[in-house]
Structure 1
Amino acid sequence: MYMFASVIISTYNSPEWLEKVLIGYAVQSNPDIEIVIADDGSEEATKEVIDRYKSQFRSLKHVWHEDMGFRKCEILNKAILASTTDYLIFTDGDCIPRKDFVQAHIDHRKENCFLSGGYFKLPMSISQLINPEDIIRQNCFSLRWLKDRGLAHSFKNNKLSKNNMWVDLLNRITTTNPTWNGHNASGWKKDIVAVNGFDERMKYGGEDRELGERLENTGIKGLQIRYKAICIHLDHSRGYANEKDWKINNQIRQETKQNRAKRTSFGIVKS
């Protein structure tokens, strides 16, 4: 059966969150997708979750490598090679997609473009409350449901709007530039392979955006779908974040911008 896109989901030792995310993809309005889990060395509990949900999808692949520290870029490149469709949607294992998430990416994809989405961040208290039924019934995307559980008032709540005219306006007036955001971005596989995928020297901190910057250097334009492709972000700690890695990443990104680099030598193909 033809599959419209591959959804590449990065994860690391967060089986409870990953299960909620997989439920979100199991109830998508467009089920003709391939799921590729890019697993940066999780323990057995993650595999058990993935095995339980394999029957829910046309195709679900688990791409894993040994835990040797933060190697997200490397496992993403392996997942890219494992994908079998010509269009790739990238997200994280802590982002539950609304049921129209995949369709939004498919509807707005264009040649010579990549799509830039965002997320709606939830506090830990609400993240823990969400159960499978809340995802299946889409309660967790309802502002009323969220507010009843303690969500604070904010302009950012507009991200969950389903009013198409309002959503179109918000995407036009947003001051946020379209960037490659690892939790919600998509592009043509041929374009991503042409720039040699993710730079595997990079650790946590802007590593996703550097790929988008190389795509832009080749003439691939970023398009904003911040208010159209909706996912909610489950809270978690970031013990892998540190200032040293941020500095290294920023240096690599500066070199990419200054040199107008179109391809990394530290990506899918090593040279």
Structure 2
Amino acid sequence: MNAEKLTIAVLISTYNWPEALNLVLLSLLKQTRLPDEILIADDGSGPDTKALIDYYRSLFPIPIKHAWQEDKGFRKCLILNKAVKLSEAKYIIEIDGDIIVNPKFIADHARAASKGYFVQGSRAMLTEAKTIEIFKTKQINFHLLSNGVYSRFNAVRAPLLSVFFNPNPRSSWNVKGCNLAFWRDDYIRVNGYYNNFEGWGWEDYEFAARLINAGILKKRLKMAAISYHIFHPQHHRENFLPNELIYQKTIAENLSYCNSGYHEV
């Protein structure tokens, strides 16, 4: 599909961190190519987040659609499915609510979109000190040599070299939803994210595994669609092992559809 005719939604998951979401939305406002809609998947945030979203609605010339659910613990998959239900775009770029994106992020993803593939992007990381600084200054113009950026290779933007990175297209290992793009029709075909994941971990691996089992292959996007991860402490991992077992079952049984996902919300 012609990149200029492609309709794109940015899907952002968030929970009670409006300071970070503010910088994410600010980085989207600076895009050389705006998306056609923004989907906020809000896992039970308070009124500060709603007020922030309403503020940005006055700044963006595109719809910002806010899916919210009551805070009953970490239920990211469920709210992602609810947010995608609001989408009208053909292509979805998923990021987390702590991911600041380069001004050419949407344009780079649009060029990489191709039928039969989902796209795994990469991220550079910000230090704790840099995170404290940008919360104060709101200065988010990063580059390869910026102070406070590490995993610097992931901050190199050289789109013409992207074609030289071609890992196993049938591997779901290490897929991360913080910078992930897919066709909405493919998402619906595999029934989206699995609602029964609770707590942090493995939901993006498992979603990717079902896409691959359905014949939709992984494309790795390096040196383009650059993103920067705001520092935060690690999430609690009390459900890490039960979630891994769900992923392993999807792999072992070659599942391409889950029984509780997009269609069940």
TM-score of the alignment, normalized to the shorter chain, above 0.5: yes
* Structure 1 residue ranges without an equivalent (≥5): none
* Alpha-carbon shift at residue 246 of structure 1 (Å): 0.9
1:248 maps to a residue whose letter is P
- CA 1:32–1:92: 2 relative to 1, 3 Å: closer
Q: Which residue of 1 aligns with 2:21?
A: 18
Equivalences for residues 142-221 of structure 1 within 5 A: 142-144=143-145, 146-147=146-147, 150-151=148-149, 156-169=151-164, 171-172=165-166, 180-203=175-198, 204-221=200-217
CA distance in 2, matches of 1:168, 1:95: 24
* Alpha-carbon shift at residue 164 of structure 1 (Å): 3.9
1:229 maps to a residue whose letter is A
Name the SS for the 1:269 alignment partner: helix
Name the SS for the 2:103 alignment partner: coil
Name the SS for the 2:258 alignment partner: coil
CA distance in 2, matches of 1:182, 1:151: 20
Q: Is this contact kept in 2: 1:161–1:167, CA < 8 A?
A: no
* Alpha-carbon shift at residue 161 of structure 1 (Å): 1.7
* Alpha-carbon shift at residue 132 of structure 1 (Å): 6.2
* Structure 2 residue ranges without an equivalent (≥5): none
* Alpha-carbon shift at residue 86 of structure 1 (Å): 1.0
Q: Is this contact kept in 1: 2:23–2:138, CA < 8 A?
A: no
Identity percentage over the alignment?
33
2:51 maps to a residue whose letter is E
* Alpha-carbon shift at residue 162 of structure 1 (Å): 2.8
CA distance in 1, matches of 2:234, 2:187: 27
Q: Which residue of 1 aligns with 2:59?
A: 56
* Alpha-carbon shift at residue 6 of structure 1 (Å): 0.5
In the alignment, structure 1 residue 223 sits paired with structure 2 residue 226: no
Q: Is this contact kept in 2: 1:181–1:208, CA < 8 A?
A: yes
Name the SS for the 1:10 alignment partner: strand
Q: Is this contact kept in 1: 2:158–2:224, CA < 8 A?
A: no
Large movers: runs of 4+ above 3 Å: 163-169, 177-180
Match of 1:90 among 68, 89, 94: 94
- Scaled by the length of structure 1, the TM-score of the pair is 0.87
Structure 1 stretch displaced more, 120-129 or 187-196: 120-129
- Scaled by the length of structure 2, the TM-score of the pair is 0.89
- CA 1:129–1:211: 2 relative to 1, 3 Å: same
User: Which is richer in helix?
Assistant: 1
